[in-house]
Structure 1
Amino acid sequence: MRELGLLLSNYLIFTFLAIALAAAQASLWFHVFGTFSAPYLWLLIICYWTLYRSLTEAVLMTYIVGFTMITMSGVPLSTAFAVNLSVFGGLFLLRDRVLWSGINSFILASGMAAAALPVFTFIWSNILEPRSISDFHFFEWVLRAPLTALFAFPFFYFFSWIDKVTHKEAPKDAESGFI
């Protein structure tokens, strides 16, 4: 029973973190820094769960983050899920082939995911939406990837601390080696 409580607390903590990080990106950042590009803070949770959780857990959290993200943006549900699952799929493929465990891998994965997110958004918007995105903000794209990677450094230790407190260990298949 204690294990179930720790598992549920881990899921709930990360769900509330997804809400808080999406809110920080959507509103708090613009109140503090004005129109300067905000990093994809909520994307760090998808990256962490893709690298350090099983496939089922990572897909579940990707959907949860998608639900929290659409409440704070104008992105349609189908596009949000398609984009998040595309980012998840790319990271999951890289996890098994290129990425290793540790903070360097998490920072690299976060930067790559932040760089891929606008591209996936543009592609899926043109496929799924009747009125798709017509402009691609190049300079925001260039700024958000390094900013997201920069924020990945402290959040990796925070996420690891949450896992330690809730006794959540990474599955053995997440401990892929460097090729």
Structure 2
Amino acid sequence: MTSTTADSTVRTSDTSVPLVPLLDERWSPRSYDATATISDDQLAALLEAARWAPSARNSQPRRFIVGRRGTATFDTIHAALLGFNSVWAGNASALVVAVAEITTADGDAIATAEYDLGQSVAHLSVQAHAEGLHTHQMGGVDWDAIVAAFELPANLKPVTVTAVGTVAPATELAEELAEREVAPRSRLSLDELVLVSE
């Protein structure tokens, strides 16, 4: 069973076998402490984790735009968020745009760019949890606004925005979002995911 505390800031997974705590306890909240900040060392650790993620042929086709709350970069990223994302993400300590380098300098397509970027963001999210932080990845973003604001060239494709911060009680959210925050977590079973295993 998934467990929560009274303020729902700690949640574990309903797994078929035990996982290491950093994976078991990782979840994606929407309620963030609007007064909490992220230190230089914490931010560096998150980006180092992303930097050391594997990539095909060590091509490292990932780039990041990082804005801390209170900066123009944060405000620009936040302004591009769509729907409910724009309602809650402004309380995060930082917003990180994950960008895939989809072609080489010679114009050759990097087929694994988005996959490799995803691995680096996964590493970032696990390191964030180790730092006592939480992350929430978002795809509901006006990407044209991000490209224009940061003058991204055609070979750089923004893929996700990740909110990073200190989790706050779900009661600080509007009712509809608060209900989502404490709803049971679920995943497809291994039988549904694994096509062949011998």
* TM-score, length basis structure 2: 0.30
- Would you tell me which structure has more strand in proportion to its own residues? 2
- Would you tell me which structure has more helix in proportion to its own residues? 1
Give 1 or 2 for the bigger CA radius of gyration: 2
* TM-score, length basis structure 1: 0.33
